Amino acid sequence: MDTGQAEAVRAGTDAGVIVVIEDDADIADLVALSLRREGFRVLQASDAVTGLGLIDRERPRLAIVDIGLPGPRDGLDVCRDLQAHGAVPVVLLTARDDEIDRVLGLELGADDYVTKPFSPRELVARVKVILRRSERPRLVAALHRLGRLTVDEGRRDATVDGTPVPLTTREFDLLAYLAHNRGLALSRRQILDGAWEPGWFGDERTVDVHVRQLRRKLGDALELQTVWGVGYRLA
Ligand code: CA
């Protein structure tokens, strides 16, 4: 048993399983140690196929996935696969010059990314935010009817003309926030604070990526206007 596990056991906590897919052993170990200190059980894989097998078997609360992995499949393939199965939030690890991959990763359903080199503390903070958000109980489960589009917060689903449209956690949170505030012009900062978490330290362009995805998935049923110089308004 390593120090992290020992601490978790001593603390009597089990925060659940996180799978880390990263081929750089130093980074993987550092990430694992930081998460174990917080009571998570961490399972590691150094390639996509092994990692997906672990995720399938262990049903982790979250996966941390390096984009650049050895072998025929990379971290984006992992996102794509998980998106098809749904339900496992993903944080991507990316290199500094990986902007296109980052955007693609978000489009493929990743919930967040951190850019190497990153501080383990920042990564752990982001993991906790995502877990809180994806699993927080909704006391007020609103049902929004927006023309052809229905957003059901209780069931966390969106339908167009009665047909369910699969959305990522992040996309759904964004849509629900827009629905709550329909008619109002919202800045990207407001959207990040409201739909994600107050003080979210992410890039405001993240909002644009998710808006593009919502538009693509929901089509004309999403009456979302771009308010130049401000952000977005749901009609
Ligand atoms: Ca790598």
- 78-136 pLDDT, tens digit per residue, is 998 887 666 688 999 998 777 778 888 888 888 888 999 999 999 999 999 888 877 65
What's the length of the chain? 235
C-alpha to C-alpha distance for 150 and 99, rounded to whole angstroms: 33
Distance of CA 23 from the midpoint of ligand 1 (Å): 5
Distance of CA 106 from the midpoint of ligand 1 (Å): 18
Q: What is the pLDDT of residues 138-186, one digit of tens each?
A: 455 688 999 999 999 888 899 999 999 999 888 999 999 999 888 889 9
User: What CATH number should be reported for the domain whose range is 3-134?
Assistant: 3.40.50.2300
pLDDT of 107 reads 81
Tell me how far CA of residue 93 lies from CA of 21, 48, 62, 181, 216, in angstroms. Answer: 9, 13, 13, 33, 25
Distance of CA 7 from the midpoint of ligand 1 (Å): 28
Amino acid identity for residue 228 in this structure? W
Distance of CA 70 from the midpoint of ligand 1 (Å): 7
SS3 36: helix
Spans of all domains in the chain: 3-134, 143-234
Q: How many CB atoms lie within 10 A of CB 119?
A: 11
Q: Which architecture, in CATH terms, is 143-234?
A: Orthogonal Bundle (1.10)
Distance of CA 85 from the midpoint of ligand 1 (Å): 24
Q: What is the mean pLDDT of residues 221-227?
A: 95
